[in-house]
Chains A and B, each alone.
Chain A
Amino acid sequence: MSAKESTLPDYRDLAPEVATRFDRIRQRPVLLSVQNLEKKFGTNGSTHTVFDGITLDIHRREFICVIGPSGCGKSTFIRIVAGLDEATGGQILLDGKAVTGPGHDRGMVFQGYTLFPWLTVKRNVMFGLEMRGKDKFTAENEARQWLDMVGLSKVEDSYPHELSGGMKQRVAIARALANEPRILIMDEPFAALDAQTRCQMQSYLLQIWKKVDVTILFITHDLEEAAYLADRILVLGTNPGRVVEFIENPVPRPRSPDQFVEPAYLSLKLRLEELIHPPVEVEEDKLPMIKLTNAGDDVE
């Protein structure tokens, strides 16, 4: 550990171009403001506090990743942002206006795809546009453009069950973006995909984000994913959930997998590891282990 630390820079030491980028971001208007957010489950008697006192500002066109141990309330947090759950305290402002329920200004992409199975790919993308009262012709044209952007024009008349997982998630992204949301909220969108597809999807997402004026709030439990994608990484802690640290990513853009060996990347990853997986001392004697077979000495 100490050997590594001595060779790696501090993750807070930003290279000049990265530091100026963050300066520029900070000058952009605040898009999403979370103030003292609190969520409790349970009514009378036993209440369970998921998180308490979450406060943060997200600027326009930022890419924010949220990480934290499972059960710390990541999903609950963004469901509240999306308006699908209600907070028990505090408030959320989007462009200065309080969020009360779900709306098309906040697009959502779920881990489980949630495409409408009865609609073709194109009709899925048209759904939100039609909900907002656009006529069929306009909706169809816009849907085609979005499908073109995610590279799925060829399958516009297929049904979702005919697509692979990666393609489904691209349709889901196109469907959410077609509504031109202010913020795109994604809950572990690539967790169900195989490693190779996940890599492709990550770079797709970065390309899309470059072309589209949208802020992204992205949940993941994959530290490398967070380090690869994010401008800033929100690290949540558990019991009760709270903001442990809001880290500015020292890895310069544009990102590429080549950077995975650079010092800035490694120092960030080391820090995230520390925060998410604090060293646990396994008390060997307390593990309920029954010796079923005789393991030879050479096993260890």
Chain B
Amino acid sequence: MAHRDWLGLKQELPGNRRLMLTLFSFLAPLLLWSAVSYVPWLWHPLVHVTVPGDVDYFTDDMDVPRADYDRELAKVKAAGGTVPEGYAVNPVYLPPPHKVALAFYTAFTTEPRLPNEPWLHESLAHSIRTICWGFFISSLFGVPLGIMCGTYRFFSRLQEPFIEFFRYLPAPAFGALCVAILGIDDGPKIAVIFIGTFFQQVLVIANTVRKVDPALIEASQTLGASGWKLVRRVVIPASISDIYTDMRILLGWAWTYLIVAEIVGTMSGITYFINQQARYRNFDNVYAAIMMIGVIGFSSDLLLAWIGRIIFPWKRKAQSSKSAPSWWAKLLPKKTSPQPSQA
């Protein structure tokens, strides 16, 4: 095991190496960010002025480009005045990691500046609510329709050509229309997420259902299944775990529609928070909020994957290609069932 190649073609790596690489995939960007933030000569294109000295336009706490600072410094030195003082910094839009880490906490305690402005937790809750409604309404229609299209060629031919066309229309383009129809509150936002999700959902699920092994359907027919019973007892259970996986991927896509959806009408949710904080130049809060979206999306997917392993016990065998769409799924403990000997 230990001597296996790190770069073995299509070979799974041993567990400790998988874990190491996983950690590294997060650590590498973090290290790069830290280096740029904490090593003074790495980038730091600005000088943060602490003592303005005799330079007229320098003020306390001002950031000036290093070239300007050096030029003014030389001038003042030549004239024999009080020299300014300062230290090299990065632009304000690149806060160092520890500040962002701190902001994960402080962003929640930062009091809104305006009356009626929501706290961060309220903004996040609003965003999650919007996503959930959009995805729920889409699924309410998309899943049954997808199953119908996947099962019956009739519905497939009747629906799919139009849906195939419609899915090329970008959901944000309907923003203004949605506002005109649904008002400026959450309605149009949910509608944008619905439009972004629904059409993909029908097609993806129809495809998944079409992939059900025809041999299983034939086997059930020879056992006396037919009609709606066959759909309910064979087609749906045969595809349900793959549909579940599709839904997880689709939910990920819904998150990508969130920001455009929240710009529609009156800006709301996490987008509003990010926007306001950027305006106040609290870039640490901005980064923290963006990362929170990632953390929420990612952890909810992990949770759903875990739930999937519980509700679909027959999928708990060594990786079928579709049951594990993400690299992290390989980190989950595998159920090793003792293989009974032949016959």
Contact = CB atoms under 8 A, between A and B. Distances in A.
B314 interface: yes
Contact of B222 (A106, A161, A162, A197): A106
B342 A179 contact: no
Contacts of A82: 222
A114 B223 contact: no
Given A114-B215, A118-B314, A194 B342 contact: yes
Contacts of A165: 342-343
Contacts of A131: 220, 223-225, 229, 233
A167 B340 contact: yes
B14 interface: no
A14 interface: no
B290 interface: no
Interface in A168-217: 170, 175-176, 179, 185, 193-194, 196-197, 200-201
Instruction: Tell which of B222, B234, B240, B340 has the most Cβ of chain A within 10 Å.
Output: B222
Nearest to A162: B337
A164 interface: yes
Interface in B72-111: none
A200 B343 contact: yes
Interface in A245-265: none
Interface string B230-253: 000110011011000000000000
A114 B237 CA distance: 14
B343 A110 contact: no
B11 interface: no
A127 interface: yes
B226 to A, nearest CB: 8
A166 B339 CA distance: 13
A129 B224 CA distance: 9
Contact of A179 (B223, B226, B313): B223
A165 to B, nearest CB: 7
Contact of A127 (B213, B218, B220, B337): B220
Contact of B340 (A101, A116, A164): A164
Nearest to B237: A118
A160 to B, nearest CB: 8
B224 A104 contact: yes
A84 B215 contact: no
A103 B340 CA distance: 33
Contacts of B340: 155, 162-164, 167
B17 interface: no
A116 B226 CA distance: 16
Contact of B238 (A118, A155, A167): A118
A68 interface: no
Interface string A133-167: 00000000000000000000001000111111111
B291 interface: no
Contacts of A110: 215, 218-219
Instruction: Tell which of B215, B216, B223, B226 has the most Cβ of chain A within 10 Å.
Output: B223
B222 A84 contact: yes
A103 B229 CA distance: 14
Interface in A72-130: 82-84, 101-104, 106-108, 110, 112, 114, 116-119, 127-128, 130
Nearest to A132: B224
Interface string A221-244: 000000000000000000000000
A197 B223 contact: no
B222 A176 contact: yes
A204 to B, nearest CB: 9
Contacts of B339: 162, 164
Interface in B206-224: 213, 215-216, 218-224
B341 interface: yes
Given A118-B238, A164-B340, A176-B223, 15 more contacts: A82-B222, A83-B222, A103-B224, A104-B224, A112-B215, A116-B220, A118-B241, A127-B223, A131-B224, A155-B340, A161-B314, A162-B339, A165-B342, A170-B343, A179-B224
Interface of B: 213, 215-216, 218-226, 229, 233-234, 237-238, 240-241, 312-314, 317, 337, 339-343
